Amino acid sequence: MVKNILTLILVLICGIRLLAQESSTGNSIQTLLKVRALQEKKVAFHKLTNGESDGYRVKIYFGTDKAKAKNVQAKFVNDYKGIPAYEEYQQPNFVINVGDFKTKIEAHELLKKIKEEYPYAFIVKSKVRPILLNQ
């Protein structure tokens, strides 16, 4: 009789563990499916936005002289390696914006570094391409 009771208790314990394990496996599968769905939504969003998001850049040059704009861009890229510089044409001016910053504070840090060399530089809102380290 005692042997039967112990066997019954052992079977019940194993059954409870098995049910708990199946339940957690089911939750894990649901979680993985939700994560995968979110990843797919993120990929679709990045395709729509070209991976760009709202942020800030520092405008270091604007003027009608294309050659001067190219020179300013080349000098900046040479002096500040790792910080991207973008040339845009905003009729009738050529514009050089630098950096890809999520926050205005980050852009301000760069502005402080370059203000002596580029006294007319200022922060502008822009679509930015986040640097992988900042994500």
The confidence score (pLDDT) of residue 13 equals 75
DSSP for 52-103, written as a single string: -EEEEEEEEEEES-HHHHHHHHHHHHHHSTTS-EEEEEETTEEEEEEEEESS
Residues of the chain scoring pLDDT < 50: 132-135
The confidence score (pLDDT) of residue 118 equals 95
The confidence score (pLDDT) of residue 92 equals 93
Q: Note the pLDDT tens digit of each residue in 7-45.
A: 767 766 766 665 555 555 567 888 888 888 888 877 777
| pTM of structure | 0.61
CATH superfamily of 53-129: Sporulation related repeat (3.30.70.1070)
Where are the chain's structural domains? Answer: 1-50, 53-129
